[in-house]
Amino acid sequence: MVSFAGLNDQVTIIEGAFSDQLKLLQGKTVDIYFIDHDMSLYVPDTENIIGSGTLHPGSLLIADNILIPGAPEYLKFVDEHPHLKSVLHKVPLKYFNGWVNDTISVATYAEH
């Protein structure tokens, strides 16, 4: 998708667990984190991301599968965090027996 959009010179995709990539990201800022893994780790990983110094005002934290299977602790965390403003978006999801509506959370980081 990045190539199709002609953005190879502007976009770097780094895959893997945040804890495994932190050394690579030290001293840099990240525009977008896409969170899509074990939902029990959404909150601790987001806490680590916020504490890492890699966010700048306007950085986005996009979390998938908010409704199915669900990440209520993450929603509560971003809703209550003083430096995050979250918006929910419904997205279609192909599930076992057809299409269902899932939700993604897009949280924008704002400094103090």
Name all domains of the chain by residue range, CATH numbers in brackets: 18-109 (3.40.50.150)
pLDDT at 112: 63
pTM, rounded to two decimals = 0.86
* pLDDT score of 105 more than 90: yes
pLDDT digits (tens, 9 = 90+) for 29-66: 999 999 988 888 899 999 999 999 999 999 999 999 89
69, 32, 66: which is closest to 49 by C-alpha?
32
Say if CB 104 and CB 93 are below 8 A apart: no
d(CA 82, CA 47): 13
pLDDT above 70 as % of the chain? 99
What distance separates the 2 farthest-apart alpha carbons in the chain?
46
